[in-house]
Amino acid sequence: MTKKDLDRYKKLLLKKKEEVSAAMRHIEKDALSQSPRDAAGDLSGYALHIADIATDSYDREFSLGLATNAQRILYEIDEALKRVVEKGFGNCLSCSKPINRRRLTAIPYASLCIACQSKEETKRRRSVSSSGGLAPEI
């Protein structure tokens, strides 16, 4: 990855960070607000920004979940910005192969390549289902 590429992704990350922070402030304000009608009307301007972490449904509990999700994304963005400075940005943290550029443009804070990401998700699903079941008796 060239310096020019890194600068481009850094800009993307900073832009994303700003968007997520703005969305999070908005979500938290709405979640604490006593007037759901105002909150819903007010949200329209942010619908695009939080489109990747939100759906249409909107209630207090959902908002708080979103705020948590937004917080996690902010953390991942900061980690990615660190990787831009310390080198290693754009490479998968698991297998060290370069992450697909289109994926990075869509999710500049991605830390895993698509192959490793789907492996992680399969693992997580399996551990959830196995922890819910009974341990085999030997």
Question: Which residues contact Zn ion (rule: CB under 5 A)?
Answer: 92, 94-95, 113, 116
**Distance in Å, CB of 91 to Zn ion, minimum:** 8
**Distance in Å, CB of 119 to Zn ion, minimum:** 8
Instruction: Write the CB contacts of 112 (distance below 8 Å, at least 6 apart in sequence).
Output: 92, 93, 94, 99, 120
User: Between 20 and 110, whose beta carbon lies closer to Zn ion?
Assistant: 110
Query: What is the SS3 string spanning the chain?
Result: CCHHHHHHHHHHHHHHHHHHHHHHHHHHHHHHCCCHHHHHHHHHHHCCCCCCCCCCCCCHHHHHHHHHHHHHHHHHHHHHHHHHHCCCCCECCCCCCECCHHHHHHCCCCCCCHHHHHHHHHHHHHHHHHHHCCCCCC
**Distance in Å, CB of 111 to Zn ion, minimum:** 9
**Distance in Å, CB of 34 to Zn ion, minimum:** 47
User: Between 67 and 90, whose beta carbon lies closer to Zn ion?
Assistant: 90
User: Between 95 and 106, whose beta carbon lies closer to Zn ion?
Assistant: 95
User: Between 73 and 112, whose beta carbon lies closer to Zn ion?
Assistant: 112
